Each structure stands twice: as C-alpha cells, then as structure tokens.
Structure 1
Amino acid sequence: MSPCLFYTDPAAGFAFLLEAFGLEKRVVREVDGRVVDAQAGIGPCTVIVGQARDEARFRPASRLPAVHVGVMVAVEDVDAYFRHVEEAGAVIEYLPRDMSYGLREYGARDLKGNLRFFASRLTG
C-alpha cells in the first residue's frame, strides 16, 4: 500500500518529507513549473504527495476536525531516526517508547498535520 497525502503546497510538503523524515525522492511531476504530485519512499515503501483542494475528499489534514489516518514507517534505529526528525523541526506527538505490542515507536506530524508513526521491533 502507498499512502497519499494532500498538501495545499505539494512542493513544500514533499520537501519536508525528504528533509525531516529522510525519505528519498522517487518521482516528481510538474505542470507549468509547479509540483502537482510526487513520490518519495524508504526501502520498498512509497508515499504519494498530491494537491489538496477544497473538495471534501482532498482536504489537507490541517483542515480536518480529527486525525483521519496515520502512516507507520519501519526504521532500523527508531531513536536515531527520532533525533533527526526532531532536529528537522517536525512536531513530536509523543517521544520514543516501548509499546506492549512489540515495537519501540514515536509519533510526529509534518508541516500540515499528517501523523506519522516510526517504529523498530523490540528484541529479546
């Protein structure tokens, strides 16, 4: 599965994903010099960025009354990844912690309020 995130400024949203969350650039489609959609990823996982609109089905997360979806990203070292994301200015929802379901994870939001969970499997 590939989550689709909608931003009022897809170029800024995409740049934030690359910088703050360390995703790699895969595809960028521009029309008249403006980013209209793009793809970034980590390993086999891809996130698609699109243009938000005022239509109900394409509003950015910051305009919704509640969290509507979260994206879980598996990383090798969740604590190291956390330090990078925090330094890049992401809004930290909760600090890294061991969860009862076998993951060490934390939550962070991007510049438009999309929620991300980053986790590593606990060993032992």
Structure 2
Amino acid sequence: MLPVTALTKEEVENCPIRQVLSKVTGKWQMLILLVLEDGALRFGELKRTIGEVTQRVLTENLRGLERDGFLTRTVTPGPPVAVHYELTELGLDLMQRIKDLTLWAAANHDQIRQSRAAYDQA
C-alpha cells in the first residue's frame, strides 16, 4: 500500500500524495488540463470550452496550476492585450496520466451507473 497515513501536520505537509493530488484532481483542474492538451488557449476560449465554470473559479484554478508549474500564462501586448495559457512539460505529462483516467471513466460509465442504480434501489 502507498504511504497515505499522516498523523502530524509535518507529515501532511511533506506527503506528496496529499500535496500534489489535492491540487490536480479536482473537477476544474482536470478539465483545464484536458482542454489545453492541443495547445495554448486564451481565457475566453478556455471558459467557453469548459462551459459551466465561473470566471472567478477558472481564474483561481489557472493560478493554482501555474503556481505548481503545470501551465504557463503568457501576456502578448496589444491592442488588444492577449493572455494565453499553455501546458508545460510537467503539465503535458500529468495530462497524459489524467487522460488515461478519463478514458477509463468513459469506458466504465455505464457499469458504474448500473451499480449506483442497483445500490439506490436496495
């Protein structure tokens, strides 16, 4: 088993599983990484592609992913000023691993839905 037990604050702060996965496995972070797979996009393009995300939530998640080194933010002087977001090598590596999980989810979605329905009826 992977070492997931953390009994002290120091162990929590030094646990790579908690420190990394908690920053990249949220709904929005995963969608952002997948959307940026094919290349750089402007903020508005990201927002339109993802759909239901608010501007504030998208901004917060982009900042977090940039802070952790998964994407870069490039400002091109205008007019108009253009801001593009693009995956770094680290981000591309992570995106590939997340993509495997999303493909698994798509392949198993019907079975999971059936299991949920059976559980809810019981």
Fold conserved between structures, TM > 0.5 = no
Structure with greater strand share of residues: 1
> TM-score w.r.t. structure 1 length?
0.29
Structure with greater helix share of residues: 2
Larger Rg: 2
